[in-house]
Structures are given as C-alpha cells and as structure tokens.
C-alpha cells in the first residue's frame, strides 16, 4: 500500500483561490488522474486536519471538493456547543460540480476558519439548511439536504469552487487569530461575542 500523498495547500492571495472552477465531465471523473486526486485530497484534508478541502486550495481550478467531519474531531467539544452548532459526524463525501439549489431563509452565525487562511477565524453567517445537487466520484447525479454544521461546511467548500473565501462573508470586527480565539471567544455563545465586540 502506497503512503498517503500530502498536497500543498495554497494560501489566500493565490489567484487560483479567486477563480471559478471548471466543471468536470463524467468522462473526466472516471480518469485515473481524478480518482487519484480524490484520494490525495482526502489524505491532505485528514492530515491538516480539516473537515473539507476544495481543489482550488491545492492549486487546481476545477469543481471538486471533499468533506469529512470525523467523530474524533467532536471529542472534547462540550455537548451543549455541539448541540448549539447542530454538529454531528459526517462520513467522507466527494462533491463534483455541486450547486446549492435551495437555501433556508433562516441563518446562523458561528466562528469559521479555513486551511487557506491559516491561523485565523471569524464569525460568518450562513443558511441553516441547504439542498445540494452534485456528481459523486462515479459521476452519478446525487442530491442531499443538510442542516447545521454540515450545511455550513457545504456552503464553505462550494464557495471555494466559485472563487469565494469566508473572509468575503465574515463579520470583520470578529476576525481573530486562532490563539486569541482560544483565549477569549472559543467557549462563549455567539451573542456574548457580538456584545463584547460592540456588534449588538
């Protein structure tokens, strides 16, 4: 068995992160190169570790992302915080040419980070529920509905495929280093953070 391949994750400022990714054909999806890329992206995401990785983040302007929120990532997070965020484990998922076809009007706001904006976090408002149509790694058309943290991850990764980063959507006054987030904001309810930052 070959050792995992770790791809380089590019950082904000790289032009590829601001491009709209090219959609893949079913014929391309079946190519060994794309199937290998999916495996390398999975290994890179797990090694980071992160809950999602989009092809532009590894320098490729194509409509491909992988997602996985592993059960082990949830250990050590207080049950009330998991409940507030509606966060549960999500099995490994491949999204090709995804489109969000339905957004809930209800939004929720939480701190969000990104492997391509390393070392920082900020409050980002997202739709609480979304429906997504996409092709899987076999090129088969799929549709899923997600809510809570899963819906947030989907919106974050699909933004990447359309040249957007969370910093485009963030509450700018909440932008913080991860060190300071851990020291000051990590365990506070969002409303308390907003009050402390003078956001009402």
Delimit the domains of the chain by residue range: 15-196
Query: Could you give the CA distance from residue 132 to residue 127 in angstroms, rounded to a whole number?
Result: 13
Query: Could you give the CA distance from residue 156 to residue 114 in angstroms, rounded to a whole number?
Result: 9
Q: 123 by DSSP, 3-state: which? A: strand
Instruction: Report residues of the chain scoring pLDDT below 50.
Output: none
Q: What is the pLDDT of residue 111?
A: 96
Residues marked as catalytic = 157
Q: What is the pLDDT of residue 200?
A: 73
Q: How many helices (H) and strands (E) would you count in the chain?
A: 7, 8
Q: What is the pLDDT of residue 1?
A: 66
Total-model pTM? 0.96
For 15-196, CATH gives 3.90.45.10
């Amino acid at each position: 068995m070959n050792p995992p391949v770790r791809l380089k994750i590019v950082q904000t400022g790289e032009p590829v992160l601001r491009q709209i990714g090219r959609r893949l054909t079913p014929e391309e999806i079946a190519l060994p190169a794309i199937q290998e890329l999916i495996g390398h992206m999975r290994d890179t995401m797990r090694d980071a570790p992160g809950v999602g990785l989009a092809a532009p983040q590894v320098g490729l302007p194509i409509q491909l992302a992988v997602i996985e929120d592993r059960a082990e990532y949830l250990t050590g997070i207080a049950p009330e915080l998991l409940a507030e965020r509606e966060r549960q484990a999500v099995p490994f998922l491949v999204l090709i040419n995804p489109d969000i076809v339905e957004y809930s009007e209800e939004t929720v706001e939480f701190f969000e980070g990104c492997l391509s904006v390393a070392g920082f976090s900020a409050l980002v408002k997202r739709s609480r529920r979304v429906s997504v149509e996409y092709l899987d790694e076999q090129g088969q058309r799929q549709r899923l509905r997600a809510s809570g943290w899963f819906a947030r991850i989907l919106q974050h990764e699909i933004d990447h495929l359309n040249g957007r980063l969370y910093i485009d959507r963030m509450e700018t006054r909440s932008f913080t280093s991860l060190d300071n987030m851990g020291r000051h904001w990590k365990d506070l309810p969002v409303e308390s953070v907003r009050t402390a930052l003078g956001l009402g």
